[in-house]
Amino acid sequence: MRAALWILLALLGLLALLVLIAVIRTLLCGAKRSRWQPDRQPEREDAYAEKLSRMVQCETVSRPGEDQREKFLAFHQVLSSLFPLVHQHLEKTEIDGNLLYYWKGRRSDRPVVLMSHQDVVPAEGEWLHPPFSGQIADGKVWGRGSADTKCSVMAFFQAVEELLDQGFVPENDVYLSSSCTEEVGGDGCPKLVAELQRRGVKPYLVCDEGGAIVQEPIGGVKGHFAMIGVLEKGQGNLLVSARSGGGHSSYPPKNSPIPRLAAFVRRVETRSPMKAGFEKEVEAMFRTLAPYGPFAYRLLFGNLWLFRPLLKVLLPAISPQAAALLQTTTAFTMQTGSDAANVMPQRATVTVNLRYIPHQGMAESNAALTALAEKYGLEAEVLNAYDALPPVAIDSDAYALVSSVVEEVFPGLPACPYVMTGGTDARFYQQICDACIRFSPVVYGPAQMKGMHGLNENIDVFSLPGAVDFYKTVIRRNR
């Protein structure tokens, strides 16, 4: 007993020593502040806002299974009128409404692809400004697609337009890529990638949507940060079914389909079979952000060597956003049952949307959920799925290029690696490119995050000059 007590005291002493070391390290490292503020350029803001407004006014809602090429050809006419030099000097390829432009450089060994999608999601509900009006008011461009992501399309077209006007010739080839099926997970971007494969093009860098200049990326970390997406989680949908003989609801049997499904859902929600863990990209994100937070944040996230096991348990329990960074997530999104209120269902289902983290990827995550479903007498069927793809190396030349461009264009703005929990078209480019970076150089504050796929989507006009300059600088610096 006495020996056990001494061992316990020794362990507590060691823990106290380690915590003291972590505190000293935190104090020595000190605190930082994000000091970037937008450089207001009213004339440029107004000119770019007018162009973006015109683009928003062209309704480009994509719908699965529908041939909407004519709608997107009308949008292409708008682009042609807004960016005449691009259409005069670049080689344009249109494939079923999807766009690819080629700007020949002096060399072809490090081609860069600047991309974002033309299509938008439907606009429902009551808006402050009509969703396809492109209204410019209160320092914002309002409307569906203003932030997701016609702002980026406008910015890289405008960047090339201005460089052409200056007589600039890029050192390396430049491609502008824009699909019209991103929002419905369609085959638009794969067709563009197949075209580049046919030409034998292997991009050095692809820059798509994903991360952005974000205010307070994590609670307690104040200021603006350039969140550069280097890893995109995989996605899948599982259909979980419960079966029975049906019957009349006046004499309901025990353990019928819906209660079994409910028990399964509760089990997943309260004790998830998904394992929390820190991908190295997530660790890099927390390490980068740590100095900008309050002392407790700097202590915990600046010393992951000590606090990693604790945070693996705590973070998924207290924050859905943190859970998405640390583990495969499971979201129950659809359900079916009986067709009548007084009939027991012969089959009831729930659909589970999963976002796969690399350390517990598609196969392992699906297997864990399927095994759990079987314990409740349920069947699980994979409807569709794809795994997380390899991340962009944070120590790569391509990441260094993007982060250095951020530093040049947005002085005082910290650049930080970021894990994408949503999906983008960039995943298709990973067939031919090792550096698919997800970053839109615009400011997404609370209003923009709230309007994404929701009501009153908008973008601040002060974001637009910096976005144009970002793409111009990427093109200039790619040597």
* Tens-binned pLDDT, residue by residue, of the chain (479 aa): 677 666 666 666 667 777 777 777 878 888 899 999 998 999 999 999 999 999 999 999 999 988 899 999 999 999 999 999 999 999 999 999 999 999 999 999 999 999 999 999 999 999 999 999 999 999 999 999 999 999 999 999 999 999 999 999 999 999 999 999 999 999 999 999 999 999 999 999 999 999 999 998 888 899 999 999 999 999 999 999 999 988 878 888 888 999 999 999 999 999 999 999 999 999 999 999 999 999 988 998 999 988 899 999 888 887 888 889 999 999 999 999 999 999 999 999 999 999 999 999 999 999 999 999 999 999 999 999 999 989 999 999 999 999 999 999 999 999 999 998 888 999 999 999 999 999 999 999 888 888 888 999 999 999 999 999 999 999 999 98
Q: State which fold the 234-247+254-386 domain adopts.
A: Alpha-Beta Plaits (3.30.70)
pTM above 0.85, yes or no: yes
Helix spans in 295-375 (H): 295-301, 304-318, 320-326, 362-375
> Is residue 66 classed as helix, strand or coil in its secondary structure?
coil
Enumerate residues 6+ apart whose C-beta is below 8 A from 33.
222, 223, 292
What radius of gyration, in Å, describes the C-alpha atoms of the chain?
25
CA–CA distance, 319 with 324 (Å, rounded to integer): 9
> Is residue 245 classed as helix, strand or coil in its secondary structure?
coil
End-to-end, the C-alpha distance of the chain in Å comes to 70
Each domain of the chain, given as residue ranges in start order, spans: 42-232+389-477, 234-247+254-386
Identify the CATH assignment for 42-232+389-477 out of 2.102.10.10, 3.40.630.10, 3.30.1740.10, 2.10.60.10: 3.40.630.10
Report DSSP state, residue 413. -
Strand order, beta sheet including 347-356: 329-336, 347-356, 234-243, 379-386
The answer to whether residues 411 and 294 touch, using CB atoms and an 8 Å cutoff, is: no
Q: What are phi and psi of 172, to 5 degrees?
A: -125, 160
Identity at 90, one-letter amino acid code: L
